[in-house]
């Protein structure tokens, strides 16, 4: 039954993940008007850049899970478009941005009595983006 209405529910969203994120943002914007609210949209979150130590990761979700599966031999084949540039942002950058935006939102709330939720995108710039082709070639050359 749900398959029949999924396309109609998704409307302009590319998938259910984007749809549910949009649904949550819409709900918060309409029901939390009296609260200091900021919405932060990080891209793909990866391991740490600097803090607490470079490369720190405590779970196997996202890119670290794919890498761990490849390195342990669980993942032997990966079909991917090597021209795609995955926009991976280190988790410590996202956390620092969350702290800065929390302070900024509080300052804006103190200055104005009514403020609508601000939306911030936390993404890597073009210079910092990891490309899948060099990574695949590096893994192959090192016999990992």
Catalytic residues: 17, 21
Q: How far is it, in rounded angstroms, from Cα 128 to Cα 122?
A: 13
Q: Please enumerate in sequence order all residues whose Cβ is within 8 A of that of 118, keeping only pairs 6 or more positions apart, or say none.
A: 37, 38, 39, 101, 105, 108
Q: How far is it, in rounded angstroms, from Cα 128 to Cα 125?
A: 5
């Amino acid at each position: 039954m749900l398959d029949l209405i999924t396309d109609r529910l998704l409307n302009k969203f590319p998938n259910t993940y984007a749809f549910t994120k949009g649904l949550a943002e819409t709900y918060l914007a309409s029901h939390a008007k009296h609260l200091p609210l900021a919405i932060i949209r990080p891209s793909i979150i990866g391991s740490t850049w600097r803090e607490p130590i470079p490369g720190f990761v405590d779970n196997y979700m996202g890119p670290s899970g794919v890498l761990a599966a490849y390195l342990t031999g669980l993942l032997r084949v990966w079909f991917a478009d090597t021209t795609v540039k995955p926009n991976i942002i280190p988790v410590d950058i996202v956390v620092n941005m969350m702290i800065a935006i929390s302070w900024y939102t509080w300052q804006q709330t103190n200055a104005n009595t009514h403020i609508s939720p601000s939306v911030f995108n936390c993404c890597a710039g073009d210079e910092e983006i990891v490309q899948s082709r060099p990574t695949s070639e590096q893994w192959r050359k090192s016999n990992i």
